[in-house]
Amino acid sequence: MPDSITITDNRTGESFEVPIVDGGVDSAEWKNNLPGLWFNDPGYTTTSACLSSITEIKGDEGILRYRGYPIEQLAEQSTYLEVAYLLVNGELPDKGQYDQWVHDITHHTYTHENFRRRFVDGFHFNAHPMGMLTSSLAAMSTFYPEAKDIEDPANRMLQITRLIAKLPTLAAASYRFSIGMPYVFPENDLSFPHNFLSMMFKVAEDKYETDPAIVRALDILFILHADHEQNCSTTTARTVGSAHADPYSSVAAAAAALYGPRHGGANEAVLNMLDEIGTYDQVDDFIAGVKRGERRLMGFGHRVYKNFDPRATIIKNAADEVFKVTGSNPRLDIALKLEEAALNDEYFISRKLYPNVDFYSGLIYQSLGFPPEMFTVLFAIPRVSGWLAHWNEMLEHNSRITRPRQLYTGAAERPYVAIGDR
């Protein structure tokens, strides 16, 4: 049997054959044979927008791999910086490459003083840290005008290094500003996650110390959030990048997409939801409201995973390790009951709705001392490596500008009517 499909246009009786390659069909075959007939696919549920060799997801089997490596093995044995290198460069680094990468990232963590003093300090006193991060990323393009040279691979790599390095600094600055605390400068002898915790929580001590289990848990969360193929924010980064915008602008646009509660904003929404439910005995009422369509169960459901989200499984284990140090989160009981009630309910079973990465991550973040407004920022810190890996891959593939079609359903041509005659 040929690996192809045959399409017949019943209006003309003409058929054409389309080869199946890498699990898809080339839309150019359709376009050439049926000009002017567009696929209507809002939300791109059945459209592949690119070829990519970065992340593989098999939604029905709960499989997630970065460059072929299973997420479980990376979460167990790797570090976030190693994973970031893997995503961006395609291979795991050897010892020399890793040391150089860590050195480069460490030495790009500072931001320009004008940026911190004039820009970050200019926000309104109660600005949401995610809004601050998004606009800070866009503003950063003005500090690095050479980033516009997107044709030069070495220049692209410099901007990628800068962005991965500066994200924790920007994230911590937005938090410290929001609580009126002085900024803490990056420290070169601390690991990536430890340095971030220090910039977040250091007060007057010489060195910010914390339990290694906490540092490791944060690094695991960074690994799990580093990439997830063509999600809403990554698609945004690719779309904006396809217009040849500089990487800071492309990543700022991606961060804006991540901010939404259907995407990265879900972790904050989960915590708010658990607070709203309030007590264990309110869970059944809440589930009933979700089934009546009054609202969504935040942290549940996924466009691609229809069985389980492998990141949620790893996060649940990481949560146990964190709670051993911090003590259990008071909302954990409500979350567990919510999960159990939903997993046994026909409404959720029939729609294949399972806990996603955001269901438990917020509980960990909260136990680590992060306020809910910071949760999506915590997602953005590692996801920038995924956005940039995709941005770089897109430019390497020399892809075309993103420009979909539409099916026009508006008024037919009609003459203009003067305002007094309407």
- Active-site residues: which are they? 263, 302, 358
Which 296-325 positions form the footprint of ligand CMC (CB under 6 A)?
296-303
Between 240 and 258, whose beta carbon lies closer to ligand CMC? 258
Minimum distance from residue 262 beta carbon to ligand CMC (Å): 4
Minimum distance from residue 87 beta carbon to ligand CMC (Å): 17
Minimum distance from residue 273 beta carbon to ligand CMC (Å): 10
Q: Which DSSP letter does residue 49 get?
A: -
**Window 274-293: contact mask with ligand CMC (x via CB under 6 A):** ----------------x---
Minimum distance from residue 355 beta carbon to ligand CMC (Å): 9
Which 224-243 positions form the footprint of ligand CMC (CB under 6 A)?
231
Length of the chain: 422
Contact between 45 and 306 under an 8 Å Cβ cutoff? The reply is: no
- 274 closest CA partner among 135, 378, 372, 376: 372
CA distance 341 to 345: 6
For ligand CMC, how many residues bind (rule: CB under 6 A)? 19
Give Cα 267 to chain centroid, integer Å.
11
Q: Which DSSP letter does residue 4 get?
A: E
Measured over the CA atoms of residue 229, residue 230, residue 233 and residue 238, the dihedral's sign is positive
Query: In the bound complex, which residue of the shown chain has the CB atom lying closest to ligand CMC?
Result: 301
At residue 355, φ and ψ (nearest 5 deg) are: -60, 135
**Window 249-278: contact mask with ligand CMC (x via CB under 6 A):** -------------xxx-x------------
CA distance 381 to 137: 12
Which 351-370 positions form the footprint of ligand CMC (CB under 6 A)?
351, 353, 356-358
Hey, what are 295's tokens? 């609202």
Between 88 and 297, whose beta carbon lies closer to ligand CMC? 297
Contact between 246 and 124 under an 8 Å Cβ cutoff? The reply is: no
Neighbours of 183 (CB within 10 A): 16
Minimum distance from residue 331 beta carbon to ligand CMC (Å): 16
Between 220 and 353, whose beta carbon lies closer to ligand CMC? 353
Measured over the CA atoms of residue 399, residue 402, residue 408 and residue 409, the dihedral's sign is positive
Minimum distance from residue 385 beta carbon to ligand CMC (Å): 15
Between 7 and 304, whose beta carbon lies closer to ligand CMC? 304
Between 244 and 262, whose beta carbon lies closer to ligand CMC? 262
Q: Which DSSP letter does residue 60 get?
A: G
Contact between 286 and 44 under an 8 Å Cβ cutoff? The reply is: no
Task: Decide: is 405 part of the binding site for ligand CMC (CB under 6 A).
Answer: no
Which residues contact ligand CMC by CB under 6 A?
231, 262-264, 266, 290, 296-303, 351, 353, 356-358
